[in-house]
Amino acid sequence: MGSDKYMRKGGMVKSMEAGDADMAAINAIALEPLDKGDVYTFEVVACDNDIDRDFERFDEKALGQLAELFVGKTVIKDHSPRADNQFARVYAAEVEDADGETSDGLPLKQLVVKCYTLDNEANSQVIAEIKGGIKKEVSVSFMPESVTCSICGIDRRKAWCEHRWGKEYDGEACHFTLSDISDAYELSFVAIPAQRGAGTKKEYLLDGEEPSGPAEAKTEEKAAGAPEGAHSISRAKALAAAFLATIER
């Protein structure tokens, strides 16, 4: 199955004002010089290093890898792979210190991705939907080359262990750390609000292994930009974990 060779995670969107540095980064990508009035910019808190409701987390290295990989990637309006679905492009991304700490006491870090699109008639509908808080959740798709068990330290991309997402072992809930990100495909607006809070929907299985664990319902989604079979991951079934968003204008 080609649809389970990558993963998705959710994030949140808000409008932002483009400064001179933003315009320089945008114009490094654009073929024709653009002015501030030509573009609409928004930023996405794509993910962080906290343990999420899927009992997974990125480590800080993974966030940095995602920041590098996402620059230049497209933003699509929904999961449909149609060419006219491309809406915006990522022009900058960085890992920022956030207030607070993770649930296990690490300093909280966020991957903040900045995107631009042309502020024109063709995009006016989507821009209005972002400003109005209708389009406010996104998912990111990416390829983790390591998925490490918090209980035993085994990399589930390479070997099997008996531990399950969210199950407690000696009082410690098992989670998995996603790292060694080899590719990032696109940001997409999540079109189906029912996905919010849907909980754990993910399994990592080696070939021949039977699915089990905390996930009941499973959703497999194909990232529009994710190449079929481009990587050697055995299986990673994913669902967008959506976050609430704040629209600032």
CA dihedral 146, 184, 2, 5 (to 10 degrees): 10
Q: Tell me how far apart the alpha carbons of residues 203 and 43 are, in angstroms, rounded to a whole number.
A: 30
Footprint of Zn ion on residues 79-108 (CB under 5 A)?
none
Taking CB under 5 A as the criterion, the residue among 149, 184, 223, 240 binding Zn ion is 149
Q: Tell me how far apart the alpha carbons of residues 99 and 93 are, in angstroms, rounded to a whole number.
A: 18
What's the Cα-to-Cα distance from 146 to each of 9, 30, 95, 180, 233, rounded to whole Å? 16, 34, 20, 6, 9
Residue 147 touching Zn ion (CB under 5 A) = no
At residue 214, the 3 state secondary structure works out as coil
CB of 67 to Zn ion, least distance (A): 28
Piece of 156-164, 183-191, 221-229, 235-243 that binds Zn ion (CB under 5 A): 156-164
Taking CB under 5 A as the criterion, the residue among 29, 98, 118, 161 binding Zn ion is 161
Residue 152 touching Zn ion (CB under 5 A) = yes
Taking CB under 5 A as the criterion, the residue among 46, 88, 111, 151 binding Zn ion is 151
Pairing of strands 137-149, 7-16: antiparallel
How many residues touch Zn ion under the rule CB under 5 A: the total is 6
Considering the complex, state which of residue 112 and residue 149 has its C-beta at the smaller distance from Zn ion: 149
By the criterion CB under 5 A, which residues form the site for Zn ion? 149, 151-152, 154, 161, 163
